[in-house]
Each structure stands twice: as C-alpha cells, then as structure tokens.
C-alpha cells in the first residue's frame, strides 16, 4: 500500500512541476499590461538623438555607443547612463540583455 501511495505522490509531484514550468501558477493580469502600455505611449518624446541597436555578446553600453560614433565617448559615463535611462524607461544599463534591442544616445553630432 505504501508503494502505491509513494508512486501516486511522485506522479502528482511531477505533474505539478510540469504545470508550473509550462503554464505557470500566477494568473496573467491583462489590465496591468494595458496600463503599462498606456503609460509608455503617453511618455513625452525625448530631445536626445538616438539610434537603435541589438546587443551582441560581450558588448556594454559604452562599447555600443563608442562603436556607433567611431570615436571615444564625448560625455561623462554618468551622462551616458542618464541618457540611456531616459530613452529606455525602466531599463537599467547594467542589465541589458544579449539579443535585445534598445535605444542608445547618439553623440555623433
């Protein structure tokens, strides 16, 4: 009887893990996603010149901007970080991800 109980308990555990990994256990809140979209769309346009680039492996915020303008960074790192944050609200420059596309400040002018 113990073997059957442990076997059924094991199957239940595997099933719960499978559901958790595939569908998740938290409900998706559609209104929260809509509010975020509206807030993003309502943001005023930045006056900073920008270019869009996809992050490649090994690249950093500084290296992407320097490669784009083909010269050393003409502003301070603090200003670069501030401009990046204003162009990409809610995104930390330290946490940019490979394969993602972001707006970067264009200092070529």
The continuous run of DSSP H or E covering 93 comes out as: none
Residues 50 and 7 in one domain: no
**Which residue segment(s) compose the domain that 56 sits in?**
46-109
Structure tokens belonging to residue 73: 């960074």
CB atoms < 10 A from the CB of 83, how many? 23
Residues 15 and 64 in one domain: no
Beta bridge partners, 104, equal 51
The CATH number for 55's domain is: 3.10.350.10
Residue matched to tokens 């073997």: 3
For residue 65, what pLDDT is reported?
92
In this prediction, residue 57 has a pLDDT band, given cuts at 50, 70 and 90, of very high
Global pTM reads 0.56
Average pLDDT over residues 26-35: 57
Residues 36 and 51 in one domain: no
In this prediction, residue 109 has a pLDDT band, given cuts at 50, 70 and 90, of confident
68's CB contacts (< 8 A; 6+ apart) are 51, 53, 104, 106, 108
Our count of domains for the chain comes to 2
Residues 31 and 68 in one domain: no
């Amino acid at each position: 009887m113990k073997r059957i109980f442990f076997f059924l308990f094991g199957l239940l555990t595997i099933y719960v893990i499978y559901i958790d990994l595939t569908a998740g256990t938290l409900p998706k809140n559609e209104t929260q996603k809509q509010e975020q979209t509206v807030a993003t769309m309502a943001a005023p346009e930045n006056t900073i010149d920008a270019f869009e680039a996809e992050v490649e492996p090994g690249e950093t915020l500084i290296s992407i901007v320097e490669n784009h303008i083909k010269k050393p960074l003409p502003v301070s790192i603090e200003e670069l970080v501030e401009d990046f944050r204003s162009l990409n609200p809610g995104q930390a420059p330290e946490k940019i991800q490979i394969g993602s596309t972001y707006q970067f400040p264009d200092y070529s002018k």
